[in-house]
Amino acid sequence: MPTLKALFSFAYLALAALSLAAALLALPGGGSLPWIGVLVIALAPLVQYIWPYDSVHVTHHKVRLPKVSLCVMLGVAWVLLTADKGATALWLTFANLGGFLLHTYWVRD
């Protein structure tokens, strides 16, 4: 099972990096409002992985990584408010949200 968790962690970080690159490439083009949310969703966990800014060892809270979770949820809300139906930004948002939840509550357990 640790091998599966390590594999998922690598896949999630690769997805976040791919989403970050897609958002950075799509921002200069037209219709860039949803991509701002994808940028926030992908950037918050990557920054936490590279330079930890949120406490991991909080045991009395039910929410792990509250600052990162706040950034991710605000990015999801932004994309849901601004994206068109079936847009690529929307699919990347759902993939990153699912990956973030699994990575935070299953892999880091």
Q: Whole-model pTM?
A: 0.86
CA torsion 43→102→83→75, rounded to 10°? -40
- In percent, the amount of the chain with pLDDT more than 90 equals 55
What pLDDT, on a 0 to 100 scale, did the predictor assign at position 61?
A: 67
Position 104 scores a pLDDT of: 86
Average pLDDT over residues 42-56: 84
Using CA atoms, how far apart are residues 66 and 62, in angstroms rounded to an integer?
9
Higher pLDDT, 36 or 52: 36
- What is the tally of structural domains in the chain? 1
Give the pLDDT mean for 11-32: 90
Q: Which domain holds residue 20?
A: 2-107
For residues 90-100, average pLDDT: 95
- As a whole number, the mean pLDDT across the chain is 88
